[in-house]
Structure 1
């Protein structure tokens, strides 16, 4: 069964931040040679809750899709993952299995869905924003970001992207499908979804849901998903 990993890395010093900027080019030469790696994307992140147009030069991500869990764990011990982890001040990886996918990413379907989700659910939205609609899109996002950050149900969230302003990825983890759906139906998020449809903000969209299967490392000094995964396994 396909395994998807989101690996986050925090770099605090100016030298390591400069190093990882260079890696955004160098890692592209290495990743195609990692065994079992079917799909990958190198991403930066936004400031605050992450869902902002201002870049956070200290947090970077590698999103990967692997043939299976065993291959994923072996692959994460290769470069560039190992080199990034060695230089990072903190690293955290979330392991997932795709449950449902709609849309495309750079013209392909990168995730292979398998079954429904019970318990904690991860939601990922990836969009290519039309340049002519970018100002309207980013005018809505800060309000949505604040609501996500304030929602007591959200267990983890980050905004990442391949190209600042135009290629955006939102990632969040919720205790169950019901709480995630309730957030999506109300307030600024629901209004933004209507605007996307009515005004045609995106050239390309992908919506995916995942079942959590594990974590490694820490984020902000702890594993924010450990307790939920333990409860699910009990």
Structure 2
């Protein structure tokens, strides 16, 4: 079964941040040669709750889709993952299995769904924003971001992106599909979804749900999803 990983890396010093900027080019030469790696994206992140147009130069991510869990564990022990982990001040990886997917990413269908989620669900939205609609898009997103950050049901969240302002990925983990769907139906998020449809903000969209199957490392000094994983395994 396909395994998807989201690996987050935090770099605190100016030198390490310069280093990872260079790696955004160098890693592209190495990743195509990693065995079992079917799809990957190198991403930066946003400040605050993550879903903002202001970049966070200290946090970077590698999103990867692997043939299976064995390939994921072996691949993450290789470069560039191992090199990034060695240089980072903190690193956190989420292991997931795709449950449902709608849309495309760069013209591809990168995730292979294998049934619905029962229990905690990771939600990912990826969009290519039309340049002419970027100002309206970013006028809405910070308000949505604040609502996501204050929602007591959100167990983890981050905003990342391939190209600043135009290629954006929102990622969040919820206790179940019902709580995630309830948030999506109300407030600024629901209004933004209507605007997306009515005004055609995006050139390309992808919506995916994943089953959370494991984590490794820490984020902000602890594993924010450790208890969730333990409850699922019990």
Q: TM-score, normalised by structure 2?
A: 1.00
Structure 1 residue 233, shift from structure 2 partner: 1.2
The residue that corresponds to 1:141 in the other structure is: 141
The residue that corresponds to 1:49 in the other structure is: 49
Q: Distance in 2 between matches of 1:149 and 1:191?
A: 18
Query: Could you list the runs of 4 or more consecutive aligned residues of structure 1 that deviate by over 2 angstroms after TM superposition?
Result: none
Gaps of 5+ in 1: none
Q: Distance in 2 between matches of 1:14 and 1:93?
A: 23
The residue that corresponds to 2:225 in the other structure is: 225
Does residue 152 (structure 1) correspond to residue 152 (structure 2)? The answer is: yes
- Which range moves more in the overlay, 224-233 or 184-193? 224-233
The residue that corresponds to 1:199 in the other structure is: 199
Q: Distance in 2 between matches of 1:119 and 1:219?
A: 22
The residue that corresponds to 2:127 in the other structure is: 127
**How is 1:90-105 mapped onto 2 (pairs within 5 angstroms)?**
90-105=90-105
Structure 1 residue 56, shift from structure 2 partner: 0.1
Q: Distance in 1 between matches of 2:211 and 2:34?
A: 24
Gaps of 5+ in 2: none
Name the SS for the 2:94 alignment partner.
strand
Q: Please give the per-residue CA displacement for 1:36-88, whole angstroms capped at 9, x wherever unaligned.
A: 00000000000000000000000000000000001100000000000000000
Q: Distance in 2 between matches of 1:110 and 1:191?
A: 28
The alignment's C-alpha RMSD in Å is: 0.3
Q: Distance in 1 between matches of 2:178 and 2:36?
A: 34
Q: Distance in 1 between matches of 2:56 and 2:47?
A: 5
Name the SS for the 2:110 alignment partner.
coil
**How is 1:3-22 mapped onto 2 (pairs within 5 angstroms)?**
3-22=3-22
Q: Distance in 1 between matches of 2:41 and 2:233?
A: 30
Q: TM-score, normalised by structure 1?
A: 1.00
The residue that corresponds to 2:188 in the other structure is: 188
Q: Distance in 1 between matches of 2:231 and 2:162?
A: 34
